[in-house]
Amino acid sequence: MSAKVKNLADLIRIRGELKAKGKKVVFTNGCFDLIHSGHIHLFKAAKQEGDVLIVAVNTDSSIRKIKGSERPVFVLAERLEVLEAVEAVDYLVTFSEETPIKPISALLPDVLVKGGDWQPEEVVGGMEVKAAGGKIVIVPYLPGYSSTGIIKRILNT
């Protein structure tokens, strides 16, 4: 296991240490099935919001529940390997539920970041983060970059 991949219990401890040092923790999440420029844009923008970026990644079973039986294209281990190489990402954690409410509620990041297809009031965990004094940041989408859209383009060629 990489130094970036942590279980939730370890991240809760790390979060406490970071908070004690006055560090600002940023959190985002997703399937990250096909890593593309839109994801990199999101990670870079998220990292600019604080000191440490935690990325929560859906497990294969949770992706199937959300996206259907043909997904993910890449299994969790492969997706984590690619995400580990992304410079802006400090820590990775996986979650098997359809939403990331469990890690968000446990970590209560200072900043919760989502891509431009979300409205602030729709962001899962947003109420919890705001209640703890944090904020929601929506990073504008890069037009034409979505894993689902890329898969559709590939299949139609």
Least Cα distance to 114 among 43, 48, 60, 62 occurs for 43
Q: Which of 54, 59, 40 is nearest to 139 (CA)?
A: 40
What average pLDDT score do residues 37-60 get? 96
pLDDT tens profile 98-152? 999 999 999 999 999 998 888 888 999 999 999 999 999 999 877 666 656 666 7
Assigned CATH topology for domain 8-118+130-155? Rossmann fold (3.40.50)
Read off the pTM.
0.91
d(CA 140, CA 25): 20
Q: What is the pLDDT of residues 73-106, one digit of tens each?
A: 899 999 999 999 999 999 999 999 999 999 999 9
Cβ-proximal residues to 29 (8 Å cutoff; 6+ apart), any chain: 55, 56, 57, 58, 95, 100, 103, 104
First to last CA, the chain: 37
Domain residue extents for the chain: 8-118+130-155
Mean pLDDT in the chain?
91
